[in-house]
Structure 1
Amino acid sequence: MDEQRQQRIKKITQSIIGLPTLPTVITQMIGLIDNPKTSAKDVASLISTDQALTAKILKLANSAFYGFPREIATVNHAVVVLGFETVKSLGLSVSVLERFAGGNSATDFDRQKFWEHSIACGVAARMLAGKLRYRVQGEAFAAGILHDIGKLILSQYFTDEFAQILALVRDEDLYIGKAEEQVLGLTHSDIGHWLAEKWNLPDKLVSAIAYHHTPGRLERGAELPSLIHLADFLCRREKIGDGGGIRLPNLDPAALRTFGIHEEPKAAMRRIFGYGDLLHEEMERADAFTSIARGEGTDPEDNADPDSDPDPGSGPDGNGGGTGSEAESEVVGEVRR
């Protein structure tokens, strides 16, 4: 390894070490949900200690994205109908969105288009999870939103190097990962991996961030990275937001084989790309997430008291009568993990 590359890696590593950790309530929530003895009341009580998080969980639970037919007026109700994994993923996603929302780097990197792409990847991953029978759709959604977090670190803390990378992408039509390797000797996946480990994110999310371009490198546990790999391709094909230039990364056929798809890759990807129209429809219902990415806050006073009883007669966000997706349908008396 040449000395210049060593210095760059050292600089990036030190910057990541110096970044703030996730809010305490989020790390506590992850630990609580991962404990099999935890109840919905336990999770709701913890979330309710943070008024801003409470407001956003309720706003998102009542958004058109989930489409529940009745208003979800309490955090406890939200935990019950969404399930533990979805609530955990929402908390993580909201926390990271807010941490980097609204700001701009000194480069010509369009952060809003970046977030549009990231949210689209989350939506696509959740959608493909249902199509490909991946059980935890909430986990897929969070992984899609967070998969390119390394690019944000580059844009915010390494503006000179990132400007060089973007120039290579623009002027030489390079795939952004190749440009990153030329300039830094590593990629946004490496940087995202380090950050995810610093934040003590769940192992599956760490793996998805690290291997979303190369799921075939994993001997086991490749399902979530493979899902994000395919979701990323679908979002790039549909030109939703900006995933880092026009040039696509190489398709890793292992991502298809992971889900039992053994046909010729081009034919298989035509099937994946066939979900493009459905993805655009789902994105229209995801505005509650894009508003957070735009830095638009939620006033906790506009939301129902998290300890009040739910009103069974109201529709979510004024959309009355909407129906949730099959995987997120309302459950009475049972909390899904």
Structure 2
Amino acid sequence: MKKSVLFVDDDQNMLDALRRMLRPMSQEWDQHFVRSGDEALVVLACNNVDVVMTDMRMPGMDGGQLLKIIQEARPDVVRIVLSGHADYNMVMRSVKQAHQFLTKPCSADDIRETLERAYNLRRILTNESAKNIVSRIETLPSLPDLYLRVVEEVQKEDGNLGTVARIISEDPAMTAAILKMVNSSFFGFFRPLTNPAQAVNLLGTEIIKGLILSAHLFSVFDFSRFPRYSMDVLVDHSLATGRIASAIATFEGMPPEMVDECFIAGMLHDVGKLILASRFEVEYLGILATVRNENRTVWEVEREVLATSHAELGAYLLGLWNLPGAVVDALAFHHEPGLAGCGRDFTPLTAVHAANALEHELRIINKDYAQHPPDPAYLEHMGLTSHLPQWKELCSAIYSQQNGQD
């Protein structure tokens, strides 16, 4: 079956340009072009559309209103805004309805890559039951406004770290959450950081962006309904996994960009648990009870009950948010790295898989949960079996540093 995309823009010249740009993709993609939200809804009612890409500023039904209707009626459709800089305020008002944002003018390659990435997310959801679970979730968390503002500043030719810090400081709750995380012992700073400028200068914008996403996701989940599920413990585990993953990547001589990706993927590797627990509360309470009573792993029982796991769902969310493919893969396969088909190259998946397992091994949070050590077959395939003792030493050193600081 061909993939299908719907473009919505009241500017016929823009639609004609898109049609010309994307003609080489016509063998793979059914392409629909309409000039209004009403026309778009007709197309959606009559066709199996995978992706909608819409302008924001249109007469009658604007892009935000259209996306809200699609979000409610067809939550399985990937929703992308393609709009001009002048529409920034309107885009911000519609942040909860859109998964991704592209700015005009946009090249054919940018659009093609965005469409392919959006569609390929479906490979993460391995069966129809898993896709059903996603479609039952009325709303997945949206990218926080603060994150989009930081990204916009970083992408400017004259963007600077001072402005990034100022943007963060305008949100007191996010500032407090970020400073709480960066002042945890896992970062190993000798004195507390007291403002966003210090955090941005010491950690860089990529890590800060990851912290914003993490703080946002933890803030939208109500842990009060899960008395045996501690947010502080989950945050600590996430930060520790990110720290260990980045240390492993550094030890293996990976470039700084990949080290940052390893930290971000490690920090976000369990966000799917938040989504499952908040959207399927009754089922998830039962899952946790089964894990404790039968000494099993969380992800195996999740898949048994819901036909998907927190790993796949977290990856699906980050993919919708257009995070790097290596980060998405690290989330999707961090329990089963051999299924990723990544060859023998060291990737964030390698680091996060090992870091997650080693962190659980070193710090047993719940003795009733089954342990899941690093996959020996995967390590052998990667030629990294002999590295495992050194990774364990790194992990122990990080905890020794933490305990010394505490």
TM-score range, shorter chain: 0.5 to 0.7
SS of 2:369's partner is coil
Name the counterpart of 1:88. Answer: 209
Q: 2:398 aligns with which of 270, 276, 279?
A: 279
Letter in 2 for 1:33: V
Contact 1:120 1:235 in 2 (8 A): yes
- Deviation of the 1:11 alpha carbon: 4.1
Q: How does 1:29-178 map to 2 (within 5 A)?
A: 29-33=150-154, 38-57=159-178, 66=187, 75-100=196-221, 103-106=223-226, 108-134=228-254, 135-136=256-257, 137-178=259-300
Letter in 2 for 1:133: G
Instruction: Indicate the structure (1 or 2) with the bigger Cα radius of gyration.
Output: 2
Name the counterpart of 1:21. Answer: 142
Pair 1:188 & 2:310 matched: yes
Letter in 1 for 2:311: S
- Deviation of the 1:198 alpha carbon: 3.6
Paired with 1:80 and 1:194, the residues of 2 have a C-alpha distance of 31
Q: CA RMSD in A?
A: 3.6
Paired with 1:73 and 1:171, the residues of 2 have a C-alpha distance of 43
Name the counterpart of 2:333. Answer: 211
Name the counterpart of 1:228. Answer: 352
Which shows bigger deviation, 144-153 or 168-177? 168-177
Which shows bigger deviation, 64-73 or 267-276? 64-73
Paired with 1:190 and 1:169, the residues of 2 have a C-alpha distance of 19
Cα 1:41–1:268, aligned 2, differ >3 Å: closer, same or farther?
closer
Paired with 1:70 and 1:160, the residues of 2 have a C-alpha distance of 43
Cα 1:276–1:48, aligned 2, differ >3 Å: closer, same or farther?
closer
Letter in 1 for 2:146: V
Paired with 1:271 and 1:111, the residues of 2 have a C-alpha distance of 30
SS of 1:248's partner is coil
Deviation track 1:3-47 (CA, whole Å, cap 9, x = no partner) reads xx85674244331x5134132011232344356763323423432
Paired with 1:61 and 1:166, the residues of 2 have a C-alpha distance of 30
Contact 2:238 2:268 in 1 (8 A): yes
Letter in 2 for 1:175: T
Deviation track 1:112-155 (CA, whole Å, cap 9, x = no partner) reads 43333222212222332332223244432332121011122222
Contact 1:226 1:256 in 2 (8 A): no
Could you tell me the TM-score, scaled by structure 1's length? 0.66
Letter in 1 for 2:261: E
Could you tell me the TM-score, scaled by structure 2's length? 0.57
Contact 2:314 2:332 in 1 (8 A): yes
- Deviation of the 1:283 alpha carbon: 3.9
Letter in 2 for 1:129: A
Deviation track 1:39-66 (CA, whole Å, cap 9, x = no partner) reads 3234234324323334555565566655
Contact 2:331 2:349 in 1 (8 A): yes
Q: Extract unaligned runs of 5+ from structure 1.
A: 288-337
SS of 2:235's partner is helix
- Deviation of the 1:68 alpha carbon: 5.4
Name the counterpart of 2:25. Answer: none
The size of the alignment, in residue pairs, is 276
Higher relative contact order (CA 8 A, sep 6+): 1
Identity in percent:
29
Pair 1:238 & 2:362 matched: yes
Letter in 2 for 1:113: V
- Deviation of the 1:273 alpha carbon: 2.1
Contact 1:118 1:146 in 2 (8 A): yes
